[in-house]
Structures are given as C-alpha cells and as structure tokens.
C-alpha cells in the first residue's frame, strides 16, 4: 500500500514539474496611450522602450518572464517620426536604442520592437 501511495505522489510531483516547465510565463499588455504605459509602469518594468514617442497609441507588448523576452508594437503620429528616428541607431533597416531593436514602417507609422537579449 505504501508503494502505491508513493508512486501516486511521485506521479503528481512529476506532472507538477512538467507543467511548470512546459508552459511559459507569458503576459500580454495593451495600452491606449503613453499615459497608460506610465500608469501601469510598462517602461519602468522594462517592457516598453523609454524613447516611446509622445503621440504613440495602440501600444501592445508581450513579455516572457522566464526567457526575459519582450516583443511589441505601437503606432505614432507622423509629426513625431523625425524626432523618434533621430534617437535611434540604424543598421540594415533595423534601428537600435537602449536595449531594444525597432523595425519602423514609415508608410503606416508603425513600429515593431523587441528587446535585445
């Protein structure tokens, strides 16, 4: 009887560890504006780049706390494009600043970003 109880216990311990390691700890956040990002501490937590244009909207990010990866996107007003790009370093159509990489679509005024790991 003790062996059966021990085997059942070991089974549940194994399942527990498999489930913890199999499912990533992913969180998805969406923000309407830069003010919402500041309220929810998206920049402070490292999920949103510090150089976000003031006109940014439709901001979304997904981060995985296990792998420390962040991917996201935002749209911006045309008036902020020049100042935003001025703060970035360009290399083969990919921009870089403060630990983030950016792919800028100038026609749609949209930016995809990810952290540089």
Q: Which tens digits make up the pLDDT trace of 36-52?
A: 999 999 999 999 999 99
Q: Are 52 and 43 in contact (CB under 8 A)?
A: yes
Stretch among 4-8, 30-34, 113-117 having the lowest mean pLDDT: 4-8
Distance of CA 92 to the CA centre of its chain: 22
SS3 75: strand
Q: What CA–CA distance (Å, rounded) separates 9 from 104? A: 53
Return the ∠ at Cα 112 (arms to 40 and 30), rounded to 5°.
30
Structural tokens at position 99: 């630990």
What pLDDT was estimated at residue 23?
Answer: 67
Q: Does the pLDDT of residue 22 top 80, yes or no? A: no
Q: Does the pLDDT of residue 91 top 80, yes or no? A: yes
């Amino acid at each position: 009887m003790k062996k059966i109880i021990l085997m059942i216990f070991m089974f549940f311990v194994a399942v527990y560890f498999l489930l913890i390691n199999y499912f990533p700890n992913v969180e998805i956040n969406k923000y309407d504006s830069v003010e919402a990002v500041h309220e929810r501490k998206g920049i402070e937590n490292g999920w949103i780049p510090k150089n976000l244009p003031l006109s940014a909207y439709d901001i979304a990010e997904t981060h995985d706390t296990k792998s420390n990866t962040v991917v996201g996107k935002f749209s911006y007003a045309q008036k902020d494009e020049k100042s935003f790009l001025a703060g970035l370093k360009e290399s083969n159509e990919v921009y870089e600043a403060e630990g983030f990489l950016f792919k800028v679509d100038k026609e749609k005024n949209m930016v995809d970003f990810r952290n540089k790991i």
